[in-house]
Structure 1
Amino acid sequence: MAVNLSKGQKVDLTKSNPGMTKIKVGLGWDVNKYDGGSQFDLDATAFCLNGSGKVNGEKDFIFYNNKSNANGSIVSSGDNQSGVGAGDDETISINLTAVPADTQKVAFCITIHDAAARSQNFGQVANAYVRVINEDTGAELIRYDLGEDFSVETAVVVGELYRHSGEWKFSAVGSGYRDGLAGLCGDFGIQT
């Protein structure tokens, strides 16, 4: 049975699931009825962060044009441009035992592609969530539903996977950015 998290809550991942080595992080969303003339294209991204909360290089920024980190331990499913249908819109697979030692945290984000040019924001998005699945069994372990807390933001850090005392934990973050992907990149050390 999955643990449902609220914003700010943290939960152990590997200690309570001994032997688990592979997870999948699923991100999903729906678009409210919208008549702005442009289709919504939301994207799942991941930033592999060192102990200072920054990426070590551009390969640590995983998105539709860079689908994995340098050693292939974190891999994106790719870009679902419509988000139509039930279930996860995009996923990121992680081999926990192979994540480089200098990656202390992985931040999972959802951004709206070309949000400013299309006059789009998360106020027009509903049912956004992140969930963590045991890749071997398919069991949902953790779920965090974002709710309707965002109105003008164009990017959201939904959750973080992080190391603590030799184990992996997950934190429900729910932190919005008005300046979208550029804001995320700036905070995490990517030059745009």
Structure 2
Amino acid sequence: MSINLKKGQRISLTKDNQGLSKIMVGLGWDPVKKGSGGLLGALFGGGAPDIDCDASVLMLDANDKIKDKNDIIYFGNLTSKCGSVRHMGDNLTGEGEGDDEQIMIDLNKVPANIQKLVFVVNIYDCVRRKQDFGMIQNAFIRIVNMANNQELVRFNLTEQYSGRTALFVGEIYRHNNEWKFAAIGEGTNDTSLKDIVQRFA
């Protein structure tokens, strides 16, 4: 049975799931429904571009640093050099049910020097498009055991993130020979993945 977490909670993924290795991390969100825009909206399709949220994974060492650019997994670098993290590709609109982006992880293949996998979501071209996470609703992260397709953990981000342009959603980390998950849910004003990565340089 899936466990629903609240912001700040932590849970062991491997303690009660002996042999857990291959997991899928699903991230999802929905654009807030836009109004019709009246006559002009009807004539010209509303004009506002879709919100393109990009999920990324940062592979950090014991000092919370990124040592290699290949340890940043995103739409421009879909697979880590070690093969332990694989991004399944970019969803450009957030439309549709279920996961918008999925990341496959083999915990047994994560190199020993990697202590933490941080999951972040940012809005592509947010400054020019004047978009922020106040325009997003129903955001979540969930973890599925790929051996039996069982959802282990879900964290629904229920806060109001208006004005925020990036989200630190959650992290998977090593602790005493276990893999744990922490529900973070922190919004920031980073305007690109490059800005986010600078925090860990």
Q: Give your verdict on TM over 0.5.
A: yes
CA distance in 1, matches of 2:194, 2:8: 24
Q: For residues 170 and 54 of structure 1, do their structure 2 counterparts lie closer, same or farther at Cα, with a shift above 3 Å needed? A: same
Where does residue 93 of structure 1 map in the other structure?
104
Aligned-partner residue type, residue 188 of structure 1: F
Where does residue 30 of structure 2 map in the other structure?
30
Identity of aligned residues (%): 44
Cα deviation, 1:122-176, whole Å, max 9, x if unaligned, reads 0000000000000111110000000133111111010000000011000000111
CA distance in 1, matches of 2:47, 2:178: 45
Q: Tell me, which stretches of 5 or more residues in structure 1 are unaligned?
A: none
Where does residue 78 of structure 1 map in the other structure?
89
Where does residue 56 of structure 1 map in the other structure?
67
- Give TM-score scaled by structure 1 length: 0.95
Tell me how far 1:185 sits from its aligned partner: 1.3
Matched residues, number:
189
2:133 matches 1:103: no
CA distance in 1, matches of 2:168, 2:3: 19
Q: Provide the alpha-carbon RMSD of the alignment.
A: 1.1
CA distance in 2, matches of 1:98, 1:84: 32
Where does residue 15 of structure 2 map in the other structure?
15
Tell me how far 1:111 sits from its aligned partner: 0.9
CA distance in 2, matches of 1:7, 1:170: 11
8 Å contact kept, 1:128–1:145: yes
Where does residue 137 of structure 2 map in the other structure?
126
Aligned-partner residue type, residue 170 of structure 1: F
Question: Which one of the candidate residues 141, 156, 181 is aligned to 1:170?
Answer: 181
- Give TM-score scaled by structure 2 length: 0.91
Tell me how far 1:36 sits from its aligned partner: 6.0
2:171 matches 1:160: yes
Aligned-partner residue type, residue 80 of structure 2: N
Cα deviation, 1:70-94, whole Å, max 9, x if unaligned, reads 1111000111112211000001110
8 Å contact kept, 1:126–1:148: no
CA distance in 2, matches of 1:57, 1:43: 20
Find the residue that maps to 2:137 and give its secondary structure.
strand
Aligned-partner residue type, residue 20 of structure 1: L
Q: Which of the pair has more CA radius of gyration?
A: 2
Q: For residues 163 and 36 of structure 1, do their structure 2 counterparts lie closer, same or farther at Cα, with a shift above 3 Å needed? A: farther
Where does residue 195 of structure 2 map in the other structure?
183
CA distance in 2, matches of 1:61, 1:162: 16
Q: Which 4+ stretches in 1 moved above 4 angstroms?
A: none
Q: Tell me, which stretches of 5 or more residues in structure 2 are unaligned?
A: 35-45
8 Å contact kept, 1:112–1:121: yes
Where does residue 4 of structure 1 map in the other structure?
4
Aligned-partner residue type, residue 184 of structure 1: I
Where does residue 117 of structure 1 map in the other structure?
128
